[in-house]
Structure 1
Amino acid sequence: MEKQYQLRLYIAGKTSRSITALNNLKKYCEEHLKGQYSIEVIDLLINPQLAEGDQILAIPTLVKKVPEPVRKIIGDLSNQEKVLVGLDIKQL
């Protein structure tokens, strides 16, 4: 069975960095994880208390919840290589 990826993207409002991060994430997922992922977007301007659970210190931050290990990637996700390696989609 193929792995399912549960991804959580923390943003703070509809800033250009937040929008870029989400667009980059969707693009990578469609290219490499088609049908194997879910993306939950959490806007910390609306739900600031949710930052504590994943210990979010910077925005935007992507958290890979499943499959383990949990991984975090900070930034607008424009470095595709870094994101794919960080999510264990691609090996170095």
Structure 2
Amino acid sequence: MPKSAKFTDGSLVQGASWGRSFRVLSWDKPSWTVAYGNREIHIHPSGKRRLSVFEAMLLQGFPQSYRLLGTLSQQIRQVSDCIPMQVGFALAESIRTSIYR
């Protein structure tokens, strides 16, 4: 259960941002950048909870079957530190094209 009163007082509405720690996602808008630190995981559009590591992984483009290892903090860091796979692929393709012209 979230400890902050913001989760129960109605202030966390879709699209609201109360600094890095309280960014509420919207169902119909793109997510803010997935770059998490200590207790800075985006808030689910319902405003009732933070995203799970699995939901953050999906935002980063991980396949649903992908598994992370380590503690919760280590998993959050892994998701936060990665480049979305689609971006990495596009970057690699661009480099390959530039090298082999």
More helix by share: 2
Q: TM-score, normalised by structure 2?
A: 0.24
More strand by share: 1
Q: TM-score, normalised by structure 1?
A: 0.25
Greater RCO, CA 8 A, separation 6+: 1
